[in-house]
Amino acid sequence: MLTDTKIRAQKPRERAYRVADAQGLCLEVRPSSAKVWRYRYRHAGQASMITLGEYPTMGLADARAERDRLRALVRSGANPAHVARVERITKAGQAATTFGAVGLELLEKRAKEGLSPQSVKRERRLIEKDMAGIRDLPITEVTAPLLLDALRKLERRGVIETAHRARAHAGQVFRYAIATGRAERNPAADLTGALEQPKTTHLAALTEPAKIGELLRAIDAYQGSPVTTAALKFAPLFFVRPGELRSARWADIDLEGAEWRYTASKTKTPHIVPLATQAIAILRELHPLTQRSEYVFPSVRGASRPMSENTINVALRTMGYDGSVMTGHGFRAMARTVLDEVLGFRPDFIEHQLAHAVRDPLGRAYNRTAHLAERKKMMQAWADYLYQLASETTCAGK
């Protein structure tokens, strides 16, 4: 019989060889110096052999215990090789149905459907880091209390909004698991109201006409690159989401038809931005500079990718507008407030143009052409108003 001393004394040879222990257990010494436990047995009259593990990861005592388990299988009429194959398949199936595996599978699907790289990165972190406590559990074993415990850890870290995003994302994962036959219910739905509510904060935005005029004049005087300057001029004119502005593609812009058509990043629905005459003029001036890129506002690091997500905010800070005064996203709040309270446009026109999900009285979503004629008039009136504010002087006595 083998001992640890005898095992350590075995040296590799040109060809693999085996040293017997007892009752079918042997140690195979390979030319690579690896020492592997093997179990020899007979099933249905035929000799067979199965690998148990590698020494010293599997010690002598563990190898003998595994041999005894397999001997009992043989005595019961089972074939250890077949049993091992079923166990491997079962484990692989279990690994594919953990919360983390299902979540990553869904994420891969959504990435192929157009989810932005930033969102992919954020959701991967939610699965792999923020919900690590349930990541490796079979999804059918993740109960509402277990999910809540994982979310409470985020609360204790003070990242309340992340906890809410994690709950919402967990709900998406469970719904996908139900749709693919790997779960029967969504425990995230049971946690509505269970988390601490985040404090409401509003993105900084200017809404006073005089202050807006000062900002527009600062943009006109900005000494940055032509691409950044153009993006700054477009931000108040279009008031689209910052990511949609910086990723605008020339292929989606019809200068003759005076429209920019694209898929809204948040609602995933087709959206139309009517182009005022001022916007068309800026685009025609910019086109010779960036027409070789698919992006209207290409990155300074290469025309194959869009402008950095921080470019607009950095430019605003350079002009003296930090995040407490104005942000790239603040142009949307600016337009929503002024179009309603100053220019008197209907709120539903404004909401359509903001690419928000707007529904008719029967609960049906409007299509992208809803109120398009009125929105074209609104966008031209908005551009005219901004240009009027930019041209007005605020000097005393004038």
Q: For residue 57, what is the DSSP state?
A: T
Neighbouring C-beta atoms of residue 111, cutoff 10 Å: 15
* Residue type at 141 in one-letter notation: E
User: Which tokens go with 379?
Assistant: 């966008």
- Report the DSSP beta bridge partners of residue 306: 298
- Report the DSSP beta bridge partners of residue 40: 49
Half-sphere exposure of 337 (CA within 13 A, CB side): 13
CA–CA gap between residue 175 and residue 267 (Å, rounded): 19
Q: What is the CA radius of gyration of the chain?
A: 32
CA–CA gap between residue 57 and residue 390 (Å, rounded): 75
CA–CA gap between residue 122 and residue 135 (Å, rounded): 16
Would you call 176 a catalytic residue per the annotation? no
CB 35 within 8 A of CB 27: yes
Would you call 366 a catalytic residue per the annotation? yes
Question: Could you tell me which residues come within 8 angstroms of residue 71 by beta carbon, excluding any fewer than 6 positions away?
Answer: 23, 24, 41
Q: For residue 100, give the nearest of 31, 19, 182, 214 by alpha carbon.
A: 182
- Exactly one of 40, 356, 368, 377 is catalytic; name it: 356
Q: Judge residue 304's burial from the number of C-beta atoms within 10 Å of its C-beta, 0-12 exposed, 13-18 middle, 19 or more buried.
A: exposed
Please give the full DSSP string across 374-385, using - where no structure is assigned.
HHHHHHHHHHHH
- Exactly one of 366, 371, 377, 387 is catalytic; name it: 366
- Report the DSSP beta bridge partners of residue 359: 365
Would you call 352 a catalytic residue per the annotation? no
Would you call 262 a catalytic residue per the annotation? no
Would you call 38 a catalytic residue per the annotation? no
CB 236 within 8 A of CB 335: yes
SS3 219: helix
CB 287 within 8 A of CB 307: no
Question: Could you tell me which residues come within 8 angstroms of residue 385 by beta carbon, excluding any fewer than 6 positions away?
Answer: 338, 342, 343
CA–CA gap between residue 25 and residue 158 (Å, rounded): 56
Would you call 39 a catalytic residue per the annotation? no
- Exactly one of 332, 336, 375, 376 is catalytic; name it: 332
Neighbouring C-beta atoms of residue 322, cutoff 10 Å: 12
* Residue type at 210 in one-letter notation: A
- Exactly one of 6, 13, 88, 266 is catalytic; name it: 266
- Exactly one of 35, 167, 169, 241 is catalytic; name it: 241
What's the distance, CA 204 to chain centroid?
25
| Residues annotated catalytic, as ranges | 241, 266, 329, 332, 356, 366
